[in-house]
Amino acid sequence: MSKPRILVTRRWPATVEAVLAERFDVTFNPDDIPLGENELRLALSTYDAVLPTVSDRLPAAVFDGLPVVTKILGNFGVGYNHIDIAAAKERGIAVTNTPGVLTDCTADIAMLLLLSVARRGGEGERQLRAGEWKGWCPTHMVGTKVTGKTVGIIGFGRIGKAFAQRCHYGFGMDVVFFNRSPIDPAEAARYGARQLPTMEAVLAVADFVSLHCPGGAENRHLMNAARLAAMKPGAFLINTARGDVVDEAALIAALKAGTIRGAGLDVYEAEPDVPETLRRMENVMVLPHLGSATEETRTAMGMKVVDNVTAFFEGRDVPDRVV
């Protein structure tokens, strides 16, 4: 039997590409740049499987009126808000993702952002590199202490829990969270956290608010002007979830007005475009979507896609099937 034809939209870790090449008739995008709408449409009517990433936009329009050949979209990533899941389902295309393997690394990046904004790490590094450091003195670049402060987590899934654990057990922080469904208090306590009944209750008490919910229509602009205004005066916002969870214009307004003290961001509304105002603000730490960016994690993500797609074509249960 001939091997399934597979398109990989970006370059992956070499070890994973080697496994893909062994198992499938695989084509890699040689340019390693995001595919446009027409290229994705062509892919969906050519390949048995397409393996996209967060940089490939697959809205309903991409699937419209196509003679679809693709049977599975094996997404390289846990978040899949860049794919119109309903449209894929309607065309009979399975979608899979890569949960679990990027939990620790994403929680680490949230911690890195929290510590950086609290202790002014980015600002300090920029000052030193610019040759502007005048030496130690008691009032130089003082930040805010983390130990004993309250962190408020929005979304208590795998990454929210791993972040809670780091904050509480690693840094002696008080951890509260909001989650749409109730979490067993004993389970929350294992991560050193307790659930509050509303998002507003979390925003009112947290010195740091960290977002760990999915992106997409359901949570679009969850952090809007009203919710930013509901944050404790002088608090910090951390976002390693998805850019569209925050109304970026409202965030810039809150930062300019000084109602919140700073922000640590790894994701943006129109990636890779990041508003210049945000890039210029000293109290904002900006990272280029690094949450899962470690050798170990990117390899594990790739191998998860391989396992999902292999199981699909062998007619076995697909481990991480979204639809």
Active site residues: 242, 271, 289
Q: Which of 6, 49, 78, 228 binds ligand DGY (CB under 6 A)?
A: 78
Nearest to 77 by CA among 288, 301, 267, 291: 301
The window from 75-83, 145-153, 189-197, 278-286 that contacts ligand DGY (CB under 6 A) reads: 75-83
CB of 246 to ligand DGY, least distance (A): 15
Nearer to ligand DGY, 179 or 292 (CB): 292
The whole-angstrom separation of Cα 248 and Cα 213 is 16
- To the nearest 5 percent, what fractions of the chain are helix, strand and coil? 40, 15, 45
| Structure-token match 């939209």, residue found | 9
Q: Is residue 245 involved in binding ligand DGY (CB under 6 A)?
A: no
Nearer to ligand DGY, 50 or 196 (CB): 50
The whole-angstrom separation of Cα 294 and Cα 257 is 36
Alpha-carbon distances, residue 121 vs 117, 124, 129, 263 (angstroms): 7, 5, 12, 13
Alpha-carbon distances, residue 82 vs 47, 56, 104, 130 (angstroms): 19, 7, 23, 38
Q: Is residue 303 involved in binding ligand DGY (CB under 6 A)?
A: no
The window from 30-38, 76-84, 196-204, 304-312 that contacts ligand DGY (CB under 6 A) reads: 76-84
CB of 79 to ligand DGY, least distance (A): 3
Mode of pairing for the β-strands spanning 262-265 and 236-239: parallel
Q: Is residue 215 involved in binding ligand DGY (CB under 6 A)?
A: no
Q: Over the range 271-296, which residues count as b (16 or more CB within 10 Å of their CB) and which as e?
A: eeebbeebeebebbbbbebbbbeeee
CB of 129 to ligand DGY, least distance (A): 28
Q: Is residue 243 involved in binding ligand DGY (CB under 6 A)?
A: no
Q: Which of 4, 74, 79, 160 binds ligand DGY (CB under 6 A)?
A: 79
Q: Is residue 77 involved in binding ligand DGY (CB under 6 A)?
A: yes
* Cα three-residue angle 22-28-29, rounded to 5 degrees: 175
The whole-angstrom separation of Cα 177 and Cα 169 is 16
Site map (CB under 6 A) of ligand DGY, residues 91-130, x = contact:
-----------x----------------------------
- Within 180-199, the residues that bind ligand DGY by CB under 6 A are none
Q: Is residue 54 involved in binding ligand DGY (CB under 6 A)?
A: yes
The window from 14-22, 71-79, 145-153, 278-286 that contacts ligand DGY (CB under 6 A) reads: 71-79
Mode of pairing for the β-strands spanning 208-211 and 150-154: parallel
Asked if 17 and 11 count as a contact pair (C-beta separation under 8 A), the reply is yes
What is the size of the binding site for ligand DGY (CB under 6 A)?
7
DSSP state of 243: G
Residues facing residue 273 across a β-bridge: 270
Nearer to ligand DGY, 56 or 123 (CB): 56
Q: Is residue 302 involved in binding ligand DGY (CB under 6 A)?
A: no
Asked if 320 and 97 count as a contact pair (C-beta separation under 8 A), the reply is yes
CB of 236 to ligand DGY, least distance (A): 21
Binding residues (CB under 6 A) for ligand DGY: these are: 54, 77-79, 102, 291-292
